[in-house]
Amino acid sequence: MAEPATATQAAAPAVPQLKDELDIVIPTIRNLDFLEMWRPFFQPYHLIIVQDGDPSKTIKVPDGFDYELYNRNDINRILGPKASCISFKDSACRCFGYMVSKKKYIFTIDDDCFVAKDPSGKAINALEQHIKNLLSPSTPFFFNTLYDPFRDGADFVRGYPFSLREGVPTAVSHGLWLNIPDYDAPTQLVKPLERNTRFVDAVLTIPKGTLFPMCGMNLAFDRELIGPAMYFGLMGDGQPIGRYDDMWAGWCTKVVCDHLGLGVKTGLPYIYHSKASNPFVNLRKEYKGIFWQEEIIPFFQQTVLPKDCTTVQKCYIELAKQVKEKLSKVDPYFDKLAEAMVTWIEAWDELNPTGSSVTNGKAK
């Protein structure tokens, strides 16, 4: 666990599952060298690269990968005035990739995330585990003390009602990170040397009604079930805040999932996070977020979506409305964000016309 797996250790699976149903979305400003290490696991899949930063720079993609690449010029061209909802100079731009994808599933990963090793030394195929998580049910209504009951060698424990054992569809699979943990700037400053070396061999469903901090570094989701809620907000250039894109998407997504009866899993798979970003830079980006989240969290905890919100889009528009009503007083930024949330849905529906208003799940 102290080092990542080397490329030769990573063995490709015999049959890459969901090869034609899953897109891998990668935001980058640097290069995509890290893909070499992931090649045995990723090569069968289509990549959507979202290039952040200077569009005149050329991002080299290693040979042999099937991909589409979008820079800022492409985003502006495709979305026109609606491009204003996509962040500039922040990895939040990755959600553009979700919008243009035509696949059912998305896996997104940061370009400083490598293949991790499990305690036996074996290279972890993170994509394969995410797929397992997404293809098996979640159990948000009652906590199973032996974690994911659908994993090999586990099951529901005594006392778990049989009527709840079918579970619900899994919308999100949230993976974790060995080595550099996803800490905020203050924690990084206090513990610059802390590394996550603990491999916790568990996947679990986050219970209904419980919020969590969703990290976008190693994340997969069912685009058809929850895609429109995965908006990564307004961050980066011209915005008062950064490093809250995935957090915002996670809080919105969890509220919508809870409302529609969809599941969110966390735990395996692990990736190896290699690069620690500069904590002082991070502090400047996160600073406002640290204060704002004290208001934002109670807001999301108390949000109730009306029964007639039966699709993700309807839920999201309603959320945007409530953000405008209740969070504008925290900062005018939330006014802008609420509008951007609406723009996002409009853009999503424009780029994904058929079947985009199909009822997802059951409103509670």
Partner 1 sequence: MSLSIKDDEIDIVIGALRPDLTSFMNEWRTIFSRFHLIIVKDPDLKEELKIPEGFNLDVYKKPDIDRVVGTSTSTIFSGYSCRYFGYLVSRKKYIISVDDDCYPAKDNKGILVDAVAQHITNLTTPATPFFFNTLYDPFTEGADFVRGYPFSLRSGVQCALSCGLWLNLADYDAPTQALKPEERNSRYVDAVLTVPARTLMPISGINIAFNREVIGPALLPSLRLGGEGKFRWETMEDIWSGMCVKVVCDHLGHGVKTGMPYVWRNDRGDAIASLRKEWEGVKLMEEVVPFFQSVRLSREAKTTEDCVAEVANVVKEQLGSKDPMFARAAKAMVDWVKLWKSVGSST
> Could you say which of 290, 330, 342, 363 contacts partner 1 (CB under 8 A)?
290
> Could you say which of 6, 73, 187, 359 contacts partner 1 (CB under 8 A)?
187
User: Which stretch, 37-45, 183-191, 229-237, 304-312, contacts partner 1 (CB under 8 A)?
Assistant: 183-191
Please report how close the Cβ of residue 215 comes to partner 1 at its closest, in angstroms. Answer: 7
Please report how close the Cβ of residue 160 comes to partner 1 at its closest, in angstroms. Answer: 6
User: Which stretch, 79-87, 122-130, 213-221, 313-321, contacts partner 1 (CB under 8 A)?
Assistant: 213-221
Q: Which residues contact 39 (CB under 8 A, 6 or more apart)?
A: 7, 10, 62, 64
215 binds partner 1 per the rule CB under 8 A: yes
> Could you say which of 194, 238, 304, 321 contacts partner 1 (CB under 8 A)?
194
State which residue, 55 or 213, has the beta carbon closest to partner 1: 213
Please report how close the Cβ of residue 172 comes to partner 1 at its closest, in angstroms. Answer: 12
3 binds partner 1 per the rule CB under 8 A: no
* Beta pairing partners, 113: 273
State which residue, 7 or 290, has the beta carbon closest to partner 1: 290
> Could you say which of 28, 101, 266, 311 contacts partner 1 (CB under 8 A)?
266
Please report how close the Cβ of residue 16 comes to partner 1 at its closest, in angstroms. Answer: 26
Classify the C-alpha dihedral 74-236-61-103 as positive or negative.
negative
Please report how close the Cβ of residue 85 comes to partner 1 at its closest, in angstroms. Answer: 21
238 binds partner 1 per the rule CB under 8 A: no
> Could you say which of 294, 321, 332, 364 contacts partner 1 (CB under 8 A)?
294
State which residue, 202 or 351, has the beta carbon closest to partner 1: 202
Nearest to 218 by CA among 120, 123, 129: 129
Burial of 185 (0-12, 13-18, 19+ CB in 10 A): buried
> Could you say which of 192, 209, 238, 306 contacts partner 1 (CB under 8 A)?
209
Residue with tokens 């003390």: 145
276 binds partner 1 per the rule CB under 8 A: no
> Which residues ranging from 119 to 158 are in contact with partner 1 (CB under 8 A)?
119, 142-147, 153-158
287 binds partner 1 per the rule CB under 8 A: no
- Residue 51 belongs to what H/E stretch? strand 46-51
User: Helix H segments across the chain?
Assistant: 34-42, 72-79, 95-100, 126-135, 185-190, 223-226, 245-260, 279-302, 312-327, 333-351
Is residue 209 within 8 Å of residue 13, measured between CB atoms?
Answer: no
47 binds partner 1 per the rule CB under 8 A: no
Reading phi first (left if > 0) and then psi (alpha if -120 to 50, else beta), residue 279 is in alpha
Q: Which residues contact 56 (CB under 8 A, 6 or more apart)?
A: none
269 binds partner 1 per the rule CB under 8 A: no
Instruction: Tell me how crowded residue 261 is: count the other CB atoms within 10 A of its CB.
Output: 18
User: Which stretch, 3-11, 41-49, 190-198, 311-319, contacts partner 1 (CB under 8 A)?
Assistant: 190-198
State which residue, 75 or 230, has the beta carbon closest to partner 1: 230
265 binds partner 1 per the rule CB under 8 A: no
Residues for the chain: how many in total?
Answer: 364
Q: In whole angstroms, how far apart are CA 325 and each of 240, 320, 331?
A: 20, 9, 12
State which residue, 90 or 224, has the beta carbon closest to partner 1: 90
Q: In whole angstroms, how far apart are CA 161 and each of 144, 156, 166, 361?
A: 10, 9, 10, 21
Count interface residues toward partner 1 (CB under 8 A).
57
- In degrees to the nearest 10, what's the CA dihedral of 314, 86, 114, 150? 0
Binding site residues, partner 1, CB under 8 A: 119, 142-147, 153-164, 174, 176, 181-184, 187, 191, 194-202, 206-215, 243-244, 246-247, 250, 266, 286, 290, 293-294, 297
